[in-house]
Homo-oligomer: A and B are copies of this chain.
């Protein structure tokens, strides 16, 4: 059962084709929204038949899963851009702002990731595990604050989850146009500050 050179080349070739297809799908998602993600459209964009998508991704669900994970990968890349800081709390705040930034900069990806924008697709367990790892960054940011003593009153995962829920709610409603122009940003800041306040160690009552 040796792997022949041909098989290797073939596999590499398939890998390249896979990337080309995935790139076309990403382009369609960002450019025209989830509605443009049809097997025929993507294969036409690439210049191959629909069959290729079935052999390489095992159907539309496989491609959807790849796109879903790509969304989290981009998300993580954006979160990693947040520079290190002396003050862990300031860094956490910048992370919270980066969360909204990403969602607003690529709302269709956000919809795919969190609002089931691809009808019929449901991420598998393994993918969910991978995707959730993105939030380890948030947990670590909270943990740093706990260690520095600027936050208290909960475990890192508890506080991180609470922050996540709040941010997701805000961003989710914003990209669904439930807020008026301009209102959203102020509300987001107020929400982040409010959620964090009860966990501040220096618990002055600050209502800004």
Q: A interface vs B, CB < 8 Å?
A: 34-35, 111, 114-117, 119-120, 128, 132, 152-154, 158, 161-162, 164-170, 172-173, 176-179, 183, 187-188, 190-191, 193-195, 197-199, 203, 205, 207
Question: In the complex, which residue of chain B has the Cβ closest to the Cβ of A113?
Answer: B176
Query: How many identical subunits does the complex contain?
Result: 2
Question: In the complex, which residue of chain B has the Cβ closest to the Cβ of A203?
Answer: B205
Q: Is the pair B35, A119 in contact by a Cβ cutoff of 8 Å?
A: yes
Determine the distance from Cα of A117 to Cα of B132 in the docked complex, in whole angstroms: 23
**Interface SS of A by simple majority:** helix
Question: In the complex, which residue of chain B has the Cβ closest to the Cβ of A161?
Answer: B187
List chain B residues, Cβ under 8 A from A114: 172-173, 176
List chain B residues, Cβ under 8 A from A191: 162, 165-166, 195
List chain B residues, Cβ under 8 A from A154: 190, 207
Q: Is the pair B158, A190 in contact by a Cβ cutoff of 8 Å?
A: yes
**CB of A25 to closest CB in B, whole Å:** 17
Q: Is the pair A165, B170 in contact by a Cβ cutoff of 8 Å?
A: yes
